[in-house]
Amino acid sequence: MYLVHTHRIPDPIYGMIRPPPWLTAIETSTPVRRMTLIRQLGLKAYIDFPGAIHTRFSHALGVMELAGRLADLLIARLATEGKPKAASNLHDNRNNIMAAGFLHDIGHGPFSHAVDFPLNKLTSKTHEEISTRIISEELKELEHHGISIESVNRIVSAQHWFPFVSSIVNGPLDVDKLDYLLRDSHHVGLKYALDIENFIEGYTVLGDDKDLSKSELGLENTPEAITSAEIFLTIWKGMYDLVYHVENSRIAEKMLERAILAGCADDNDLRGTFENPEKATQLYDEKLLEILQQIKGFPQDTAAAILSKRGLFVKTYDKELSVEQFPVISQGFLEAIRPTGASEASFTLSKRTCETLKTEQNHIICDLVKSRVPHSIHVDEIDSQGDPIELKSKSSIIGAIKEKIRLKAYIHPSLQKKIDEATLSKTIEGLVASW
């Protein structure tokens, strides 16, 4: 579909999306077209949710559309609420915000988040950092259409000079979350009900209009806004529990992580591809699987297991990481997994478990699964110190959402009769205690 000819894009979530003129300038570029070849939910379409064949491109369009709608709503509201500077700032940044919404995930690797850990381990970069590189180096054409590359990158990385601007795309209440919840639930077949138009009506900019550097995106202090936020965050938590962390595709994703790292250890071409961010961002879902199919051993076996849905690892261990469940949890282990070290700690624990039990490397995969808790969200009410009040203090529902961490282990099917659950449990818990 050529956007320059249609001027309207049918969308299952928002009805019709009208692409802005600057989008036609980059729509046929390689980085943008690659988003059409990367599934939004990665391996979940292969394993658990056959309807989840939507792509990063459709999500990008949705975030762009919703970013524009929210910006327009806030501009109109702030102009009538005595905040002309904030309204003017959003008006001037509207296209930058929409461009950031469209491009925020352009640095994702194949199968979306399933490749985040190996990509970061091999390049030392997050997908957000790769996104900003692509925007700066490969989409300079945007500058000729009134888009500030620097502003877009600052919004994508949540480092904009004015926090309320970047929070529209990257923040606790961002349109990225709103779109992926609506779009993902639609495609996996979960019929959640969230009135998006009603919800964003409760958004506002908090802070003094005289100092926009301290202003933030928050919620009106109304029952409607608070209740809508409760519904949104309950759905958000539910999607992680029922979709994003669902077991079979989670196992396949962890196998894929290890297959990429094993493949990079054995194959110089694959390693060279992943260590070079420019080459890594030329990969897409099917291309990666084709490469892994050519590397004998664990990479080839994993690709075959994903494509056939046979030979997936088997969950053999599953406990909540808590003092009630674990005899001893070393301080070193707790420090290793917080705040963002769960993937690296899982990788190290997997390696040590395989070594202790003398199995082939990668035949036991340990997986730390963290539940999600909302970041700090403020409402339009001031406490005794003059600071905005947190939403969780106004809502017992949101206040009750606590982080939980489960430690799971998945084993190669050939080990089921060789390693019993008691032995695996003793080994893992001993390693956690002595970390």
Instruction: Name the one residue in this structure whose structure tokens are 């060279």.
Output: 272
* Exposure of 313 in the CB half-sphere (CA atoms within 13 A): 28
> Structural domain boundaries of the chain?
3-246, 313-372+403-433
DSSP string, 381-428: EE-TTSPEEEGGGT-HHHHT----EEEEEEE-GGGTTTS-HHHHHHHH
Sheet harboring 405-411: ordered strands across?
314-320, 405-411, 364-370
Tokens linked to 316: 């053999």
Instruction: Give the per-residue pLDDT at 428.
Output: 98
Query: Which whole number is the average pLDDT over 125-138?
Result: 93
Instruction: Give the per-residue pLDDT at 124.
Output: 86
DSSP string, 248-261: HHHHHHHHHHHHHH
Instruction: Give the per-residue pLDDT at 4.
Output: 45
Nearest-5° angle of CA 117, CA 263, CA 284?
Answer: 65
**3 has pLDDT over 60:** no
Query: Which whole number is the average pLDDT over 141-169?
Result: 97
Q: SS3 for 314?
A: strand
Tell me the pLDDT of the chain averaged across its residues.
94
Choose the weakest-confidence range: 52-56, 133-137, 322-326, 408-412. Answer: 322-326
Instruction: Give the per-residue pLDDT at 6.
Output: 52
User: CA 92 to CA 99: how far, in whole Å?
Assistant: 13
Instruction: Give the per-residue pLDDT at 52.
Output: 96
User: CA 165 to CA 90: how far, in whole Å?
Assistant: 7
- pLDDT digit string (tens) for 303-326? 999 999 999 999 999 999 998 999
Of the chain, the end-to-end C-alpha distance in Å amounts to 54
Tokens linked to 327: 């005899």
User: CA 210 to CA 215: how far, in whole Å?
Assistant: 9
* Exposure of 185 in the CB half-sphere (CA atoms within 13 A): 21
Q: SS3 for 29?
A: coil
DSSP string, 120-159: HHHHS--HHHHHHHHHHHH-GGGGGGT--HHHHHHHHTT-
Residue from 284, 93, 64, 252 nearest 176 by CA: 64
Nearest-5° angle of CA 155, CA 157, CA 162?
Answer: 45
pTM of the model: 0.94
What percent of the chain is predicted at pLDDT more than 90?
89
**133 has pLDDT over 50:** yes
Cross-strand partners of 205: 217
User: CA 93 to CA 154: how far, in whole Å?
Assistant: 12
Instruction: Name the one residue in this structure whose structure tokens are 């640095």.
Output: 107
Instruction: List Cβ neighbours of 130 (8 Å cut-off, separation of 6 or more).
Output: 107, 119, 123, 277, 280, 281
The CA distances from residue 161 to 77, 86, 87, 89, 150, in Å, are 22, 13, 15, 11, 11
User: CA 310 to CA 46: how far, in whole Å?
Assistant: 12
User: CA 78 to CA 95: how far, in whole Å?
Assistant: 18
Helix, strand, coil tally for the chain in percent (to 5): 60, 10, 30
Pick the CATH number of 3-246 from 1.20.58.220, 1.50.10.10, 1.10.3720.10, 1.10.3210.10: 1.10.3210.10
**66 has pLDDT over 50:** yes
Instruction: Give the per-residue pLDDT at 11.
Output: 97
**402 has pLDDT over 70:** yes
Whether the CB-CB separation of 61 and 11 falls below 8 Å is answered with yes
User: CA 79 to CA 203: how far, in whole Å?
Assistant: 14
Q: Within 10 Å of residue 292's Cβ, how many Cβ atoms?
A: 23
User: CA 1 to CA 32: how far, in whole Å?
Assistant: 13
